Amino acid sequence: MAGRERKYTPRARTTRPIGEARTSNVPPGQPLDPPRFMDGLWLIEEPLAHRLHEKSALGQRTKGGILLSPEEVMFCHWYRHVPLPGGSSWFEDQLLQSEDLAKRTIALDVLRNGGERVVPVVHLRERFPALPANTWAIRWERHEPWASHRGFSQVRLQRTHDPLDWHELHRWVDDVRASGHVAELCVIDEEFDTTIYHLSTAQPKGSHDLKDNLSKALLDALVASCRQATPVEGGFFVNHDGPWPLSSIGLPHFSGRYLRGEEYRALIGEEHSDDALYTELLSSGLLLRPGFKYGCRWRAYEEGIEVAHAPWLVQPQHDAPQNWEEVCLAVRLAEGVNKRWICALQTGKSHSFLNIQRFG
């Protein structure tokens, strides 16, 4: 009997209909009053306001109640049985005023799904006066008392088609980390699904010996061998008498040593300006091999190829993704082969390395 293929059931997409609760909690016997517009936000009065603020970290205190952002109004509509002001047309009216409300509403719904507190920065300006411009909210994990704890992460929102400014993103990550938070990115795709990333700076280092550790006589012999090398389609075949002393440079092939152009130039001391990143990574003790199979410039080994897999995939900023769809592809490929994807950015005379890791 022929084998039967396994059938998979497609995942049901969340559509979030307006007017229907997204909680199994029973609504109150007496319907709640809808919020009313006040000072650019939406007022919910006591006594409901106290419970929403203290237990759920919703809104900011004001006389007689709390003020909610529009995305919090939607959250309270779905999970706290609060009617929308003016009915279902309210959401469309708010979209006309701020079209990014849809992504803010989705993000608040998703990020609060596990019982964590996510507070838009519009409520936190006095408590955190120096937040970066592109931070949308601060997230507290479930065990953290949100009223006294500084919080776990700062959250930034992006759509998949948004252009990417790598240096601005790096500055944002630095500012967030300086505040003692994790830099958390929520990307909303064209189906209004979300992918969460954690961003951090990295400093990859390895344990490989460099040419600086060779004696002058041995280095001179290597350079002499290189100058007699045979050029082959952008690289060079080198015949060298005796064992090859630099495991991090070149590959053994055809009873010789094949050097890529960047490796050849590094050995003979004729690096081009675009070799600066390679030289810097080499000086950090890394063994670099082409990353073509992984969609990047290099795969970087901290130890020998025979000892461990390459933990890093390195992409120079000038070849890096230009939008978040491309970032998602690069990071997902890297994590599928148990590697970390990093973008190398020129910062002065050296480089900084930004790691993007998929979190959920």
Element (H, E) at 109: helix 101-111
Interatomic CA distance for residues 198 and 360, integer angstroms:
9
Check if the beta carbon of residue 152 is closer than 8 Å to that of residue 144.
Answer: yes
Taking the CB of residue 330, how many other CB atoms lie within 10 A of it? 19
Q: Which long-range contacts (CB under 8 A, 24 or more apart) does 307-313 make?
A: 309/338, 309/339, 310/339, 311/204, 311/339, 311/340, 312/202, 312/204, 312/286, 312/339, 312/340, 312/342, 313/339, 313/340, 313/341, 313/342
For residues 260 and 250, give the distance between their C-alpha atoms in angstroms, rounded to a whole number.
7
pLDDT digits (tens, 9 = 90+) for 311-338: 999 999 999 999 999 999 999 999 999 9
Instruction: Decide: 112 and 118 in contact? Cβ < 8 Å.
Output: yes
Mean pLDDT, the chain, rounded, equals 92
Three-class secondary structure of residue 81 per DSSP: coil
The per-residue pLDDT for range 291-300, each reduced to its tens digit, is 999 999 999 9
pTM comes to: 0.89
CA distance 297 to 147: 46
Distance (Å, whole) CA 52 – CA 49: 5
- Quote the pLDDT of residue 211: 62
Percent with pLDDT over 70 in the chain:
96
pLDDT band at 8 (very low <50, low <70, confident <90, very high): low
Buried b (16+ CB within 10 A) or exposed e, 258-267: bbbebbbbbb
Q: What residues does each domain of the chain span? A: 35-99, 209-272
d(CA 300, CA 294): 12
User: What are 52-83's pLDDT values in tens digits?
Assistant: 999 999 999 999 999 999 999 999 999 999 99
Give CA–CA dist 77/67, Å, rounded: 15
Residues ≥6 apart with Cβ < 8 Å to 35: 42, 43, 44, 68, 73, 76, 82, 85
Other CB atoms within 10 A of residue 213 CB: 11
| Residue 2: predicted pLDDT | 52
- DSSP secondary structure letters along 252-314: EETTEEEE-HHHHHHHHT---GGGHHHHHHHHTT-EEEE-GGGTSSEEEESS-TTTS---EEE
Distance of alpha carbon 160 from alpha carbon 312, whole angstroms: 24
C-beta separation of 111 from 187 below 8 A: no
* pLDDT tens-digit map of 151-198: 999 999 999 999 899 999 999 999 999 999 999 999 999 999 999 999
Q: How far apart are CA 237 and CA 250, in angstroms?
A: 9
* Continuous segment of H or E residues that includes residue 315: strand 312-316
Phi and psi at residue 41, to the nearest 5°: -125, -165
